[in-house]
Amino acid sequence: MWRAEIANIEAFILNEYIPAKPLDSNLEVDFTLRKQAKSEKCGQRRCGDILKFPFAQTTRTLTAASIKQSKVLVEADKATETKRVVEITLESDDFDYEPGDTIGVLPSNAPEVVEQLLERLGLIDQADTICQIKLALKCAKKNAKLLAHIPDSTCPREIFTNCLALNGVLQKQFLSALAGYTSVAKERSFLACLSSKQATEHYNSLILERGLRFTDILELCASCQPPLAFLVEHLPRLLPRPYSIANSPLETGTQELRIIYSVQSPKAGVATSMLEAKCQQQEQSAKVFIYPRLTNTFRYTEEDLCKNQILIAVGTGLAPFLGFLAHKEHHQKQQKQPVKGETFLYVGAKTPQAVLKRNKLLAWQQASVLQRLRMCHSRVESPTYVQQLLQEDAEELVKLLLKPDTVLYVCADGAKISTSIASGLGLCLQKALHLDETEATQQLKELRQQGKYREDLWL
């Protein structure tokens, strides 16, 4: 644990260093000195009418969705580094969507973390006191974007719960400013040194590699007492997390939708930690706040039924394709005959047990919803990676891809994986069409421009 390894902070203080330029403070807090009444709604529940969320549809606001059910799809396995994967079913008012659409889920910091932080910063007596965050008089002409993530009327508990990211990577100028709010000399020197160019090795080790966060710094430096206004201005905004909808509205109606998330224990993210905690509260009708994100071409609608699809997924990237295939299956049942378009699915996972809804995929193949299903497992067998499967099928894959009514979809967690898949597709084009690397790269670029190569990626 880092606590034992760096308990002696003096070991990280250099004899000579130049601290980074500290961040300025341009805000101030105005308390009205009254408690929030029980009848008053939490600002986060009304901030859909106040704050703007990334990629939100302008005609829709926040929806309070109840967690109807949660189900573990994949159990964690340390031996194969497999993450635990959970599917939750959300229930809300009529929520119009198509397979491939995404929602934004508003995360919140854990109540116990917020309580400890309020206590640590001496704000516990004002935790629920209504306040306003304002630009300081000296900065009145500065851009009001500094306050874009804070409701007009709020309180310290709400700010730390719903507005600020407490686990972000600490920048050097932020650390330098924290030193200015620290009274004990060795703690002040530790923070100032850590912000310096000369201590880059220590910064990389403590902040980037071991992952020390703001709350850890407060634990290490007991005399550090930054004001609320400074934290509001310089801690990152707690942003909504995007999730692909993993079902078809034809399965459940638009009142229900499913999302899938993975849990990296013990370092679960804020959103997944919140969802995990709320799933344990199902008996109390736990709710999460969601909104529909802007739609794009990564969708599967009735217009796509007669088209061919090549679907490529790694890990939880399979989630939107579960909605694609369920949609196709339901249309096929309605028509009582196979849907015209062909569908190839390539799936990469660490083990056979880590493939989401593997039995359902096999059933879809048996029912001719899928015309080809290829799976690979990086921890147990060869071929190891999905791009190797693509290369094995290069001739047939490229033949299908180049048909006018074929669209290729890639959904993967991370830019590195998507780059590897693109490289594998390039090799397929080289092999099947006898192209060189430059020509294959140009062909992929043209496929993207034509809307035949679509990606849904997140970092």
147 or 350: which carries more pLDDT confidence? 350
| pLDDT surpassing 80 at residue 349 | yes
Give the pLDDT of residue 144.
57
265 or 333: which carries more pLDDT confidence? 333
State the pLDDT confidence band at 95, using cuts at 50, 70 and 90: confident
Q: Is residue 219 packed enough to be buried (19+ CB in 10 Å), middle (13-18) or exposed (0-12)?
A: middle
Distance between CA 400 and CA 210 in Å, rounded? 47
| pLDDT surpassing 50 at residue 311 | yes
pTM: 0.88
Q: What is the mean pLDDT of residues 370-375?
A: 96
pLDDT digits 0-9 by tens, 24-53 = 988 888 886 555 554 454 444 444 444 567
418 or 197: which carries more pLDDT confidence? 197
Q: What is the mean pLDDT of residues 98-113?
A: 93
Closest CA to 290 of 69, 38, 89, 73: 89
Give the pLDDT of residue 35.
54
**DSSP state, 77?**
B
Which has the minimum average pLDDT: 144-148, 300-304, 382-386? 144-148
Give the pLDDT of residue 282.
54
Rg (CA), the chain: 25
Residues 6+ apart with CB under 8 A from 404: none
Give the pLDDT of residue 55.
72
| pLDDT surpassing 80 at residue 316 | yes
Give percent above pLDDT 70 in the chain: 88
Output the CA torsion sign for 111, 112, 117, 122: positive
| pLDDT surpassing 60 at residue 346 | yes
State the pLDDT confidence band at 2, using cuts at 50, 70 and 90: low
Q: What is the mean pLDDT of residues 150-168?
A: 90
Closest CA to 68 of 238, 247, 227, 194: 247
Reading the block at residue 13, the tokens are 């203080």
Which has the minimum average pLDDT: 92-106, 179-193, 274-288? 274-288
Give the pLDDT of residue 142.
53
| pLDDT surpassing 60 at residue 61 | yes
Phi, psi values for residue 134, rounded to 5°: -125, 160
Q: What is the residue-averaged pLDDT of the chain?
A: 88
| pLDDT surpassing 60 at residue 439 | yes
Give the pLDDT of residue 304.
86
Give the pLDDT of residue 140.
52
Q: What is the mean pLDDT of residues 342-348?
A: 96
pLDDT digits 0-9 by tens, 261-301 = 998 766 778 999 999 999 887 556 788 999 999 888 899 98
Distance between CA 426 and CA 92 in Å, rounded? 43
Give the pLDDT of residue 127.
93
Distance between CA 147 and CA 149 in Å, rounded? 6
State the pLDDT confidence band at 410, using cuts at 50, 70 and 90: very high
Give the pLDDT of residue 319.
95
413 or 394: which carries more pLDDT confidence? 394
State the pLDDT confidence band at 8, using cuts at 50, 70 and 90: confident
Bridge-based pairing state of the strands 241-244 and 102-105: antiparallel
State the pLDDT confidence band at 59, using cuts at 50, 70 and 90: low
Three-state SS at 377: strand
Contact yes or no for 337/395 (Cβ under 8 A): no
Give the pLDDT of residue 44.
45
| pLDDT surpassing 60 at residue 324 | yes
Which has the minimum average pLDDT: 85-89, 282-286, 308-312? 282-286
